[in-house]
Structure 1
Amino acid sequence: MILVDAHLDLAYNAINLGRDLTQTVDHGRQRSTEQTAEWIAEAGTLTTTLPEIGLHTPSIVCGTIFILPAEAQTTLDGVAYATPDEAHDQAWEQLNWYKQQCATGFLHLIDNQPALQAIQARNQSVPGLLLLMEGADGLRTPDELIEWYAAGLRWLGPAWQATRYAGGTGAPGPLTTLGLELLELMQKLGVALDASHLAEESFWQALEHFQGPISASHSNCRSLLAGANHQDRYLSDAMIKAIIERDGVIGIALYNRMLRADWDGSKNHVTLEHVVAQIEHICQLAGNTQHVALGSDLDGGFGVEMIPAEIDRWSDLPKIGKALTERGWPENDIANVLGQNWLRWFQRIV
């Protein structure tokens, strides 16, 4: 069974946090800084490396181009950008990191149909990589997307917090003039839209102006998180239905804060039952199992301490399938969630 994870900040972890993702998870956890209380509080204990992903074949991951704004309200650390030029340079450094991992055989870039089919046919023994830009500030101007498309980028989310392109999490607002120009070029090139992190206003504006493929790589259900902080980080039922109507997919993130509104900060307070609840809610809205999948965001500013009790590392993701089995789910529907839904959608964007 193919396993697809639609959101991993691999290059950010390697470059900004200095993690050697070419080693095993156990090796990475032995790094002295990984064991300090300060590090654990800010980044968490490592769960994901390239050899770890390679333990499951076939698999595909969406590796993000994620760069940190200097003014960001976050516990994330590392190099941050304050100008468009700095953002541009940091984004390309991450792209070059991914290219190096492909050149050395850890990943297989998926930027066309034959590359995707090679993974599906098990003709590739290494995980597939689909490039996803999270926050568009790495583009100094919208027309730089042309060069990024040529380099393999196939999916883009204009926002994280606010960017020069759109309102985002914790920063309400519409698409900017640049954002509207960017959406127009995305549609022309065939670059898909990631709705994750878009502010409410920019989300609905984007759906009105963008007619290309749209999904949410890592966005959980607002209606199951009533009372939680940062409500604008989650998708309302209306937003979920709008994505479903466009034949999109929603990836479930595994951060405990995004799974349980009353999370007490401990690992064991959240279990796979909370993950299943998110999955089943989207299925209820859709009337089928074709619009929900995984977008774990593992090591995206949180580590093993802040993910469900049963999950210790990336290779544990198939346990979500076992949890669905225990709920009585048929095998084909479980396969949809673990990978087939993303595969179907990827056919539209590469």
Structure 2
Amino acid sequence: MSINLPISGPAVVAHGKGDLRIEDIPLSAPETGEAIVEIAYGGICGSDLHYWLHGAAGESILKEPMVLGHEIVGVVVRQAADGTGPAVGTPVAVHPATPAPGDARYPADRPNLSPGCTYLGSAARYPHTAGAFSRYANLPTRMLRPLPENLELRTAALVEPASVAWHAVGRAGDVKGKTALVIGSGPIGALVIAVLKRAGAAHIVAVDMHDKPLEIACAVGADQVFKGDEADAIAAVDADVVIESSGSHYGLDSAIKGATRGGKVVMVGLLPSGPQPVSVSLAITRELELLGSFRFNDEIDEVIDALADGSLLVDPVVTHEFGLAHSLEAFEMAKNSAESGKVLLNFQQ
């Protein structure tokens, strides 16, 4: 049944550094091309943690209270007024980006690089772009991806981060039969391993500082694991493809050292702004290809298909689930990378 306005519901709102609140937010009337989605699950991302812990994610600084959340799935409860998009009752995943042109040049076939791009739950611009960690959300129908009947919403909650991983592996090209090294086995690193496995990588080596992420890495396809301080063993991997997902200069340095001559290093972990102390001279003498990887484009559709047909194994990545009333506990757990993988908020409870 279609939902009627006015309506309100609880939402997870960041007010500033260390200030996370659950507030009742009234839902405004949707725009013509927007549907109302009842959110079922939301995955806590590193950017959500940064807004809570630091009041900023990189250079995106909170200037006003903002609803967090961009890793979301739910069910359409009111179709867009213009008749576009999924019908009422359709389960959907969400592509949280809104590409937009700007003054800077970018390849037309890579809208993720558009300089004016906005993202749900981002303080990159002011006014901020509200996220969807809320009971109900108005979402443009172009963001909505209908889900197959056999794909459970809980599994589909990983569609967005799995798309980030899929894009990163795609930047490396054909990995079939190759040796792959993944530095950092948190949720994105673990999903990268799952994508590499599906893509036919012959040998996958995972690295992390903690046992739990390495346990998850093995569950989704890693053949071998090392702790982050095993520098000599990591350097000896001699990988054709290395994907750096730790977001630290130590990880990037290990990635360069672990790559074979003429190999590729894909950088998906977002390092802090400014200079980074890494072994660039080694990248030069080995003729390594250093490739950036930022968000994703239409890979989300391939990810949904792969999850639906069971060829992409992601369930071990989810380690904890909390009801909305326990959001602060959920964020505390997500912060503890030694004990958790992907932490989900269940908005249905």
Larger Rg computed on CA atoms: 2
Pairwise TM-score range, normalised by the shorter structure: 0.3 to 0.5
TM-score scaled by length of structure 1 = 0.32
Which structure dedicates a bigger proportion of its chain to strand? 2
Q: Structure 1 or 2: larger helix share? A: 1
